Structure 1
Amino acid sequence: MGQIKELQTSLANKIAAGEVVERPGSVVKELLENALDAQATEITIEVEQSGISSIRVVDNGTGIEADDVDLVFHRHATSKLDTDDDLFHIRTLGFRGEALASISSVAKVQLITCTDGLEGLEVYAENGRILERKPAKAKRGTDITVKSLFYNTPARLKYVKSLYTELGKITDIVNRMAMSHPDVRISLYSDGKEILSTNGSGRTNEVMAEIYGMKVAKDLVPIEGDTSDYHLEGFVAKPEHSRSNKHYISIFINGRYIKNFVLNKAILEGYHTLMMIGRYPICYLNIQMDPILVDVNVHPTKLEVRLSKEEQLYSLIVEKIREAFKDRILIPQNDMSKFEKKNKVLHQFEQQKMDFERQQQTSHEDKDSDSTSHDRAEVEDAPTDTDSNNVAAEHRDVSAYQTPSDETESQVSEPSSTDDYAQAQREVLADLENSEDHTTLENSEEDTNNIKGTVSKTPSRRVPYVEVVGQVHGTYIIAQNENGMFMIDQHAAQERIKYEYFRDKIGEVTNEVQDLLIPLTFHFSKDDVMIIEQYKDELEKVGVHLEPFGGHDYIVNSYPVWFPQQEAEEIIKDMIEYVLEHQKVDVNKIREEAAIMMSCKKSIKANHYLKNSEMADLIDQLREAEDPFTCPHGRPIIVNFSNYELERLFKRIV
């Protein structure tokens, strides 16, 4: 008898669920996509215990026909595909027909649906099968409740993370869906507490204000552009709102949230030297294109897609982001409220920690005096799950759920020890550093607008006219105007000036070379040699002539005249490594790196004192720069302290 047999339906559904339903957030994503495909204009999501206990999604969409209800819990049952050709023209978020089948195989599902607002249908499903079906009174739309997630797959439940982490994942999914569908009113509640509520106005920047706060929303810059195949629109935040990870980059193709390395790279290239290495922007991009140019059927969760004409889209993104910041003032304004908030949280954490340790000490003393009474007191005095999280919960706003960190994930549990308080403290402080105040800065808004309005006596310059006051530690120039105080990093300022000078000069030179008295020797592996031989002619076109020197060695007898003499060997190594990694030669990139290196080495260093006239001359040169707000490495050059912030600092304003 043969050993191959067809899997049972319940087992096949569980295997499919392993791909589609990874965590509670996966359930929310699938149900939310179904609601949007059903043309809902209002969607409410309610979760209990971060979705482990219950997930409920209610929409006012088209509903499900009574004849179709029997098939909604079957695998590969969908209303969105009929022929093979439809797979290459997908305009809906869902199409695989596995969502409800996978969910019902690992949870208990109740579905109430109605198509006409008169006669509805209520269905109970479990383990992939409908157990009960009966008429019900219902509004037009669909109401799905998913309970006891992973009740029959304990191994999957074991790997569910902490409640904060799982809620963060859910919030992240809902946030992105809300951004891509601003015309839909979306509300999210966790254990009865509202986390997100959008107004469905159709304006994406209002949704981003709800998610990221008003301060970020005020600094969003709109972008829009077209090619023959793509239409691009979105918002990019000013560089001062950068983050430490890519979590805040949101890219959508035809309304579908995707992750794409090449497009992320295009966004960073668009910011160019405005963003520090290791920092990432807040960014929303929505790309409209013919569905035939994108393949969304390459990943079970549909997060990864394949694009046609990717280079064309890359260039469009880079061009439009650079245009967005070309004529804008990008001087960051110092905000003292963030530090005051952080100190307040630290103080309250310390107070809570002291109270907890005092409680523990009392408990130990009771144990020494009377072990029997201690057992009773331990139950009464030990902090409950709710109490131990009160401090963290009181200071966590919506943004705390928007930045889940896998590095701090743990099993589903709550802090109940000193170490846990320390961990919670670190999490909240990290949230404070990454999040922005969700209220408008009413008192400082007028000063901010004044700064943005005062460019200089020459309209083409983006650095305001300022008067030099002095210097701090031979490093920072202090200047002022009617709108406040400015601090200027003298090294970063001259680095930007020289970078733009060297960049232009290097771009003008030809591929003239100068000979070396002693050749440079390079050794490579056999695999590297094969790639180098393939691109050897390309390297020669940019002035790098590699001559075989036996085995896997090469020598270089000359290099282009635009190479800095001291760094020539290092630049040649970088060029060859770039070829090995990307399998192409990008001379513009290499020349740019050379310009950055030369500008850094030839600029004023810290602890170098300047005369007032020299400082004024440096600022005048900076005002002529193309991008005078960051050095080539992305560090800020100018920081502004508004009059309002100065008065707050000295308690003239409380």
Structure 2
Amino acid sequence: MGKIKELQTSLANKIAAGEVVERPGSVVKELLENAIDAQATEINIEVEQSGVASIRVVDNGTGIEIDDLDLVFHRHATSKLDVDDDLFHIRTLGFRGEALASISSVSKVTLKTCTDNQEGQEVYVENGEVLNQKPAKAKRGTDILVESLFYNTPARLKYIKSLYTELGKITDIVNRMAMSHPDIRISLVSDGKTIIKTNGSGRTNEVMAEIYGMKVAKDLVHVTGDTSDYHLDAYFARPEHSRSNKHYISIFINGRYIKNFLLNKAILEGYHTLLMIGRYPICYINIEMDPILVDVNVHPTKLEVRLSKEDQLYELIVEKIHEAFKNRILIPQNDMDKMTKKHKVLDKFEQQKMEFEKRQQHNTPNHNTLEHHNVSSENNNVLNDEHQLNYSNLTDTFPDSIQESANDYDEYKKAQNEILDDMETEGVSNNEETTTHGNHFSESNINKDIKEPVGGTSSRRVPYMEIVGQVHGTYIIAQNENGMFMIDQHAAQERIKYEYFREKIGDVANESQNLLIPLTFHFSKDELMIINQYKGELDKVGVHLEPFGGHDYIVDSYPVWFPKQEAEEIIKDMIEYVLEHKKVDVKKIREEAAIMMSCKKSIKANHYLKNNEMADLVNQLRETEDPFTCPHGRPIIINFSNYELERLFKRII
């Protein structure tokens, strides 16, 4: 008698559930995707005990026909695929027909649905089997209640994390769904408390304000871009809002959240030198493309996909991030709100702000100085103007504390939406250039009443400032009508020299000079195979490996563009890079050389400068492409606004 037999349906469903239903968040994801595919405009999610006790998802979509109810909980039963060719033109989030079958095999499911607002149906499923079906009162759409998750698979239930962790996973899934579908009203309620609620306005930045807070939302830069195959729509947060992990990078393909190593790398390349090592940006990227160019059927949870022409998409992302920040002022402001925590309601804040601005108008200097309300950036993203302070101090506190303690959440949301409306009207989140009006300016306006400093043309990205002095031989203190600035002299010169060396190194031909003592390298057999394969490419960049008997090689010369003191270290790093990555990246090597040279040759801390030397340093910084961070991503300039200084000294209560 043969040993091979077909698995029972219930057992097969439990095995499938092992891939599809990993935790309560997996159930929320699958049900959310079904609701979105059903063209819902409103989806409400309620969970008890982080989804372990119950998960309820209610939508106002098309509902399920009575004739289809017999197949809803069958494996691989779907309305989204008919023929093989459909698999290569997938525009829906779900398509395999595994979700409901897998969920019902490890839980108790009650489904109510209606397609015409008249006659509804209710189906009860337990352990993957339909136990009851009857007419029921139901609104148009689908209402699914999942209870006692993993009740019949105790091993899976045992490995559920803490309720806090599971709720975090659910919240993360709902957040990303809300970002990718801002036109759908989505709410998440946990144990009777609202976690997230979007209004379905269709504005992604509004959803991001709900998720990340207004402090981040006001500093988002909106960019779009196209190639022959891709359309890119993205929001990138300013570098000062960086995080310690990649969790805040959200990438979507045709509205589907994905993870992709190469696209993550493209984002980090775009932010290159704007972020410190080990820091990651907050960003949202949606890529619209022909479904035939993407294979979404390579991962059980559909998180990983395969893309055609990835290199083209990589270059587009890098280019658009560079463009997004190229002409923006990226001077971070010191956050006094975190120190005081005294603004508890919106109207109180606005009253204080109006009093401050009124006093500022009475104290406005003569016509030889800038008026504070006329200073802004070319792209309306200046942190130094009082117009933006109308938002910054409000929003820094609101998302973290006021939102939680305010008696009227609707009033907060109204204020938040008004701010977003103003931002959109005035172009705060748009990367297009603006003309001079209201609080914005052209180049001629900013310099109209200021005598140009000797030695160069003032950059619009670094505002003109008067040098006041120096602290501990390390930080330069400067001022203008917008407040006080602190400049890290080492980081400033590091940026200046980095851009100089980067340009010079890129122009140098592959000329070589000899080492006094040749370097000797011993390779194992597998390493020797790799070295022999890439030896020709190493020769092209000036690293000539010559056989020295057995598995040994020597290097007796190096390219002239290598820093002399670090030549040996760079050669060793290059060879180790080839062994690890199996390629030669000349661009990366030259970049690292420029960073190393700039760091070693810049002035250090505790080095006292004269006023004219400090002014000259600031003027040189003003001429650089990216004057706000050093090559390692550390900030160069920090701004203390007049408003913050007055609050610090209790002139404003």
TM-score calculated relative to the size of structure 1: 0.83
Write the mapping of 1:176-191 to structure 2, written as runs, cut at 5 A: 176-191=176-191
Q: Which amino acid aligns with 1:560?
A: P
Counterpart of 1:44?
A: 44
Amino acid at match of 2:74: H
Counterpart in the other structure of 1:19? 19
Amino acid at match of 2:540: K
Which one is further off, 642-651 or 278-287? 642-651
Partner AA of 1:462 in structure 2? R
CA contact (8 A) 2:459 2:622 kept: no
Q: Distance in 2 between matches of 1:610 and 1:170?
A: 55
1:459–1:115: structure 2 CA closer, same or farther, 3 Å change rule?
A: farther
- Give me the CA root mean square deviation: 2.3
Give 1:112-511 correspondences, 5 Å limit: 112-340=112-340, 457=447, 460-511=459-510
Q: Is the 8 Å Cα contact of residues 213 and 399 (structure 2) preserved in structure 1?
A: no
Distance of aligned partners of 1:554 and 1:453 in 2 relative to their CA distance in 1, 3 Å threshold:
farther
Task: Say whether the 8 Å CA contact 1:214–1:440 is kept in structure 2.
Answer: no
Query: 2:382 is matched with which residue?
Result: none
* Secondary structure, counterpart of 2:539 in structure 1: helix
Letter in 1 for 2:173: I
Structure 2 residues without counterparts, runs of 5 or longer: 345-396, 402-414, 429-437, 448-456
The question of whether the paired residues in 2 share the 8 Å contact of 1:195 and 1:398 is answered with: no
Report the CA distance between 1:155 and its aligned residue.
1.2
Q: Which whole-Å CA distance do the structure 1 matches of 2:598 and 2:219 have between them? A: 30
Query: How far off is 1:613 after superposition?
Result: 1.1
Residues 485 and 638 of structure 2 are in contact (CA less than 8 Å); yes or no, is this contact kept in structure 1?
yes
Q: Which amino acid aligns with 1:589?
A: K
Whether the 8 Å CA contact 2:543–2:557 is kept in 1: the answer is yes
**Which residue of structure 2 aligns with residue 102 of structure 1?**
102
> Counterparts of 2:400 and 2:94 in 1: how far apart (Å)?
28
Q: Which residue of 2 aligns with 1:371?
A: none
Which secondary structure does the structure 2 equivalent of 1:272 belong to? coil
1:430 aligns to what?
Answer: none
Q: Is the 8 A contact 1:454 1:464 kept in 2?
A: no
| Deviation of 1:399 (Å) | 7.8
* Structure 2 counterpart of 1:590: 589
1:136: Cα distance to partner?
1.1
Counterparts of 1:571-586 in structure 2, within 5 Å, are 571-586=570-585
Give distance in 1, aligned partners of 2:50 and 2:400: 16
Task: Indicate the residue corresponding to 1:516 in structure 2.
Answer: 515
Match of residue 71 from structure 1: 71
Provide the C-alpha distance between the structure 2 equivalents of 1:543 and 1:592, rounded to a whole number of angstroms.
Answer: 16
Is 2:641 aligned against 1:653? no
Letter paired with 2:98? E
Whole-Å Cα distance in 2 between the matches of residues 56 and 397 of structure 1?
A: 30
**1:493 and 1:622 in contact (8 A); partners too:** yes
1:223 & 1:523 partners in 2: Cα distance? 50
Mapped contact 1:522–1:553 kept (Cα < 8 A)? yes
1:194-220 Cα distance to aligned partner (Å, 9 max, x none) = 111111111111111111111111100
Provide the C-alpha distance between the structure 2 equivalents of 1:441 and 1:618, rounded to a whole number of angstroms: 41
Partner deviation per Cα, 1:489-510 (whole Å, 9 max, x = no partner): 0000000000000011111111
Deviates more, 1:187-196 or 1:31-40: 187-196
| Identity between Structure 1 and Structure 2 (%) | 84
Q: Which structure 1 segments of 5+ residues have no match?
A: 345-395, 401-437
Mark the CA change 1:454 to 1:581 in structure 2 (over 3 Å): closer, same or farther. farther
- For residues 528 and 587 of structure 1, what CA distance do their matches in structure 2 show? 20
Residue aligning to 1:554? 553
- Whole-Å separation in 1 of the counterparts to 2:585 and 2:318: 16
2:272 match: secondary structure: helix
Asked if the contact 1:229/1:290 (under 8 Å) is kept, the reply is: yes
1:526 aligns with 2:522: no
Structure 1 position 159, deviation (Å)? 1.1
* Counterparts in 2 of 1:163 and 1:451: CA distance versus 1, 3 Å: farther
Structure 2 counterpart SS, 1:645: helix
Structure 1 pair 166–490 and aligned structure 2 pair: CA distance change class (3 A): same
Pair 592,126 (structure 1): closer, same or farther in 2 beyond 3 Å: same
Counterpart position of 1:536:
535
Equivalent residues in 2 for 1:625-636, closer than 5 Å: 625-636=624-635
The structural deviation recorded for 1:578 is 2.4
- Contact conserved, 2:214 with 2:399, CA < 8 A, in 1? no
Is contact 2:458-2:623 (8 Å) kept?
no
CA distance in 1, matches of 2:627, 2:275: 13
* Pairwise CA distance, 1:645: 1.2
More helix by share: 1
What residue in structure 2 maps to residue 89 of structure 1? Answer: 89
Q: Is the 8 A contact 1:215 1:440 kept in 2?
A: no
Shift of 1:607: 0.8
Q: Any conservation in 1 of the 2:458–2:619 contact (CA below 8 Å)?
A: no
The Cα of 1:79 is off from its aligned counterpart by 0.9
Task: Provide the C-alpha distance between the structure 2 equivalents of 1:321 and 1:472, rounded to a whole number of angstroms.
Answer: 35
- TM-superposed CA distance for 1:524, in Å, is 2.5
Identify the residue that residue 375 of structure 1 maps to in structure 2. none
* SS, match of residue 101 in structure 2: helix
Aligned to 1:620: 619
1:545 counterpart residue number = 544
- Shift in Å at residue 230 of structure 1? 0.8
Give the CA deviation at 1:516. 2.0
Change (3 A) 1:340 1:106: farther
Contact 1:222 1:236 in 2 (8 A): yes
Q: Summarize the Cα distance change of 1:174–1:399 in structure 2 as closer, same or farther, 3 Å threshold.
A: farther
Q: Report the Cα offset of residue 292 of structure 1.
A: 1.2
Query: Is the CA contact 1:45–1:58 (under 8 Å) kept in the aligned structure 2?
Result: yes
In structure 1, the residue corresponding to 2:125 is in which secondary structure? Answer: strand
Deviation of 1:441 (Å): 13
CA distance in 1, matches of 2:297, 2:341: 46
Cα distance in 1 between the residues matched to 2:75 and 2:528: 51
In structure 2, distance between residues paired with 1:563 and 1:57:
61
Flag the 1:451–1:523 CA change in 2: closer, same or farther, 3 A: farther
Distance 2:295 2:580 in 1: 26
Q: Please give the alpha-carbon distance, in whole angstroms, between the structure 2 residues aligned to 1:595 and 1:334.
A: 30
AA in 2 matched with 1:269: E
Kindly indicate whether the alpha-carbon contact (under 8 Å) linking 1:211 and 1:399 is maintained by their aligned counterparts in 2: no
Q: Indicate if the aligned counterparts of 1:461 and 1:624 stay in contact, CA closer than 8 A.
A: no
Which letter maps to 1:297?
N
Once residues 107 and 522 of structure 2 are traced to their aligned partners in structure 1, the CA distance between those partners, rounded to angstroms, is: 59
Residue 355 of structure 1 corresponds to none
1:288 Cα offset (Å): 0.7
Alpha carbons 2:43, 2:184 under 8 Å: kept? yes
Q: Distance in 2 between matches of 1:139 and 1:523?
A: 75
Q: Secondary structure at the match of 1:22?
A: coil
Change (3 A) 1:640 1:398: closer
**Count of paired positions:** 561
CA–CA separation in structure 1 for the residues paired with 2:98 and 2:549: 59
Given that residues 124 and 131 in structure 2 are in contact (C-alpha distance below 8 angstroms), is that contact kept between their aligned partners in structure 1?
yes
Give the C-alpha shift of residue 341 in structure 1: 5.4
* Matches of 1:462 and 1:308, distance apart in 2: 38
Deviates more, 1:276-285 or 1:161-170: 161-170
Which amino acid counterpart does residue 188 of structure 2 have in structure 1?
L
Relative distance call for 1:441 and 1:280 in structure 2 (3 A) is: farther
1:590-646 per-residue CA deviation (whole Å, 9 max, x = no partner) reads 111100000000000011111111111111110011100000000000011111111
Query: Could you list the per-position Cα deviations for residues 141-170 of structure 1 after superposition, in whole angstroms to 9, with x for gaps in the alignment?
Result: 100010111111111111111111111111
Q: Is the 8 A contact 1:512 1:543 kept in 2?
A: yes
1:511-548 superposed Cα distances (whole Å, 9 cap, x missing partner): 11112232111222222221121111111111111112
